[in-house]
Amino acid sequence: MSNSSTFTLASSQTSHPQQKSETNSLVASLPVVSLPPKACLTDSYAASLAEKGGHQGWDHYQEDVLPSKSLSKPLRNIRYIILNIYRRLFTVCFLVNAAILMWIAIKGGAETPYIGTIVVGNIFAAVLIRQDHVVNELFKIFTAVPQSAPLWVRTTFARVYSLGGIHSGSSMAATMWLFYFTVKVTQDLLGDKASPELVGLTYTILAMLCIIIALAMPAFRRLHHDSFEMIHRFLGWSATALLWAQTVLLIRDYKSPTVPLGAAILRAPAFWLVLILTLSITTSWLTLRKVSVRPTVLSNHALRLDFDYATPVPGSFTRISSSPLTEWHSFAIIAVPGRQGYSMIISKAGDWTSKAIAEPPNEVWVRGVPACGVMNIVPLFRRVLIVATGSGIAPCAPHVFAKRAEIKLLWTSRNIRKTYGDAFVDSILEAAPDAIIYDTDAHGRPDLVKLVHHVYKDFDAEAVCIIANEPITRKVVYGLMTRGVPAFGAIWDS
């Protein structure tokens, strides 16, 4: 159950608990924009520079009266928190498996190889739903819904970034079935059907899965994310290797004496499932390579990296590393319109990013392909309010530049030009002249739910997409969804 961002917004992690994760890292791309001299800017463009004192779009928002929230508080919490889409998918995956297990138990049990195939099938589903190519194809399918479709259809399909619930649900289900499988092979060992080697491998794999699941729980993962990732990665690889041995031994122990082992292996569904899931895991690592980057230090808080090796779509993210076996950091990216390659801006939010800004790299490790993230859903809607707080502007910037939908940008931050540089801020404002930039140094922290709702109504948007830290994202999405506003933001459950 790795973190999505998947999904979710993927983020880098630090090695210190108090720094939590780098979910708030500035993760965007900066196209090279040819800006007119400031003296030549039109009056309307200059008037849009809200950070210079204009209040366009949010005057008197504090006087608004928010609509009442739907349902009672207990029902709201069940509907929008406990049973969000991610948890519904998790629940369906797990309960369907639990129902099948109960049905088999009531029937008097099933053959051990059949149970083993179910175990492998659930591991297969958990791995495949996280594979970058699979993620991209699912996003392509779910976001292909035309803008003419009913809004409820588009908002439902936009929850595609919650598919990590299938990963978690299938992982838990696989472990549940493996417990049952362990009981079966232990009984078969006593009956001289299963070999001691098979039983020993089964207990070892079960222990590995239990450790992976225990350390993937949010409480541990948030405090010790680097440790979680390393354990998840190396135990996952080890479990996959042992799964191969277990599958072969299972087939050997239970095949008919008249069938050659090779033929029995080729006929076994478990063999092909393990083969495909292994290819799914290795594909990303087979593309591991070191690529050149062109670093540009924007400030003591932000660094821009320019790449030429690929041209991803808006809403994608990629992983980079300076030590590929120990840590990876995910950042949102953008392809510059009309140009090959992409850029990435990294803000100071932990040890790794601080070092990168102080000592800009000329080469970094990359693997796999850029994968779609939550902001990839923007083109599903005709009019979208994009909300960014601080460095959250980064994942939003690609859509501002790409203009694949009518977008209104609301960016709340402090020291914007000092932190992100004039070129970046001016390029945002040139692409979105009506953008609202709320300077929290000048105006204080806003009531973000009320401010977002005000701009949402004023812009007549169909949906709201927000990129912020976890507490703000959860508060705003909950505050809007409970008032009937389609709102989307990164999740931290997967």
* DSSP per-residue letters across 183-215: HHHHHHHHTTSS-HHHHHHHHHHHHHHHHHHHH
Compute how many other C-beta atoms are within 10 angstroms of the C-beta atom of residue 357.
19
What's the CA gap between 232 and 22, in Å, rounded? Answer: 19
pLDDT band at residue 308 using 50, 70 and 90 as cut-offs: confident
- What residue type is assigned to position 406 of the chain? E
- Which pLDDT value is given to residue 493? 61
Classify the phi-psi angles of 285: left when phi > 0, otherwise alpha if psi is within -120 to 50, otherwise beta.
alpha
Q: What is the pLDDT of residues 412-461, one digit of tens each?
A: 988 888 877 788 888 888 889 899 988 888 888 899 999 999 999 999 99
The radius of gyration of the chain from alpha carbons, rounded to an integer in Å, stands at 25
Question: pTM, whole model, 2 decimals?
Answer: 0.83
pLDDT band (50, 70, 90) for residue 54: very low
Give the amino acid at 148.
S
The pLDDT, as a whole number, for residue 354 is 86
Residue 160 has pLDDT above 80, yes or no: yes
Q: Helices in 217-268 by DSSP H: which ranges?
A: 218-223, 225-254, 261-267
Which 3 state secondary structure label does DSSP give 414? Answer: coil
How much is the average pLDDT of 141-162?
Answer: 95
Place of tokens 């540089």: 421
- 403 near 382, Cβ under 8 Å? no
Q: Is the pLDDT of residue 55 over 70?
A: no
Which range has highest mean pLDDT (256-260, 315-319, 322-326)? 256-260
Q: Are strands 363-366 and 316-323 parallel, antiparallel or unpaired?
A: antiparallel
Instruction: Round to whole Å and give the CA distance between 389 and 36.
Output: 27
Residue with tokens 């970046």: 424
Residue 462 · residue 381 · CB < 8 Å: yes
- Identify whether the C-beta of residue 397 lies closer than 8 Å to the C-beta of residue 30: yes
Mean pLDDT (whole number) for 319-330 = 87
CA distance 328 to 229: 9
pLDDT of 22 over the 80 cut: no
For residue 336, the model assigns a pLDDT of 60
Q: Cβ distance 370 to 312 under 8 Å?
A: yes
CB-based contacts of 72-79 (< 8 A; 24+ apart in sequence): 76/482
Helix axis angle, 196-215 relative to 225-254, nearest 10°? 160
- Work out the average pLDDT over 150-164: 95
* Secondary structure letter of residue 63 according to DSSP: G
In this structure, is the dihedral angle defined by the CA atoms of residues 126, 127, 129 and 130, taken in order, positive or negative?
Answer: positive
Numbers of helices and strands, H then E, in the chain? 19, 16
Reported as a pLDDT band with limits 50, 70 and 90, residue 131 is: very high
* C-alpha span between 140 and 358 (Å, rounded): 38
Are 129 and 167 in contact, with CB atoms under 8 Å apart? yes
Residue-wise pLDDT for 198-209, tens only, equals 999 999 999 999
As beta bridge partners, residue 488 has: 465
Strands 383-389 and 463-467, sheet pairing: parallel
The residue type found at 226 is D
Mean pLDDT rounded to a whole number for the chain: 84
Residue type, 410: L
What is the arithmetic mean of pLDDT over 324-339? 78
pLDDT of residue 278: 97
Task: Evaluate if residue 125 carries a pLDDT over 70.
Answer: yes
Angle between helices 470-481 and 448-459 (to 10 degrees): 50
For residue 298, which of 228, 364, 348 has the smallest C-alpha distance? Answer: 348
Q: Per the structure block, which two tokens stand in for 305?
A: 């990296």
Give the separation between CA 302 and CA 347, rounded to whole angstroms.
Answer: 4
The residue with greater pLDDT, 330 or 139, is: 139
- The pLDDT of 317-326, averaged and rounded, is 88
Is the CB of residue 179 less than 8 Å from the CB of residue 206? Answer: yes
Of all residues in the chain, the percent with pLDDT exceeding 70 is: 87
Q: How far apart are CA 394 and CA 308, in angstroms?
A: 19
CB 439, CB 414: distance < 8 Å: yes
